[in-house]
Amino acid sequence: MEKTVIRPPAVADRFYPGDYASLRLSIEELSKNLPTTKRKVVAAVSPHAGYVYSGSVAAETLGQIIIPKTVVLLGPNHTGKGAAVGLSRATWEMPMGNVNVDQDIAGKLLAETEYIQEDELSHRYEHSLEVQLPFLQMYQQNLSIVPIAISHVSYQMLEEIGQALAGVIKKSTKEILILASTDMTHYESREDAQKKDHYVLKKITDMDPVTLYRSVTGHGISMCGIMPVTVALIAAMALGATKTEIVRYTDSGEVTGDTAQVVGYAGLLMF
């Protein structure tokens, strides 16, 4: 019998409270003013900073949508470790309880495209997907995930991955949400960050993944999750999404008071 691989938390007690009670209280506080009627969407985009900075945007974004039992998580690989596009099949240990991978969907994705590889190292120290999990656990008690960390790769690779993801979801009888994780411009003045970020957000709301990818990679815009957001947009459009709505845009200066060097945060819904 195979031993279960456990992926322990990498950023508990740093990005979010590391004990069950404090974490639950934190998310309840962030989720206070959410609408009672939930919306069904194809994909969403959520930030991944510490909860004090971007938790309100994540809660407002994820808390207003129907979270199905299976969520495909797409995030950037900040560490550079592991595969270029790495899929974890481990059990994710979290303060609010373990989260299992949907092995059926994971296996089908691995079979659909050679660009996605089973790889735990790309996830071991990566925070971008981990910080989404407590919100998802709060809003869906029977959660399973398909976590994929993506490094800087070509648009052609992202296109194939997005189409492969859409193909697997189309063939499945399950309700599946795609969730991409990104922060926006990093460590620039609020004025410069807003200019760049609103330009990028316009490309997403225009449903234009090619120009989105070229704009960010070609102009050195420091949006860390350009790869996962591009995949999410490609897949969402292939699944019939025709519109992207910005839930909220803000930056770290709202919390710190420092507008000379901010990080931008955005929540988006694709449907």
Report pLDDT digits (tens) over 116-135: 999 999 999 999 999 999 99
d(CA 64, CA 73): 18
Amino acid at the residue 104: D
What the chain holds in terms of domains, given with CATH numbers, is 6-270 (3.40.830.10)
Q: List the one residue out of 171, 231, 175, 173 whose CA is nearest residue 204.
A: 231
- Residue-averaged pLDDT of the chain: 97
What pLDDT is stored for residue 4 in this prediction?
Answer: 83
Question: Would you say 139 and 179 are in contact if contact means Cβ atoms under 8 Å apart?
Answer: no
d(CA 106, CA 235): 16
Mean pLDDT of 145-168: 98
Reply yes or no on whether the pLDDT at 22 is more than 60: yes
What pLDDT is stored for residue 3 in this prediction?
Answer: 66
Reply yes or no on whether the pLDDT at 64 is more than 90: yes
| DSSP state for residue 220 in the 8-state scheme | T
Helical spans, DSSP H, in 140-183: 155-171
Reply yes or no on whether the pLDDT at 143 is more than 60: yes
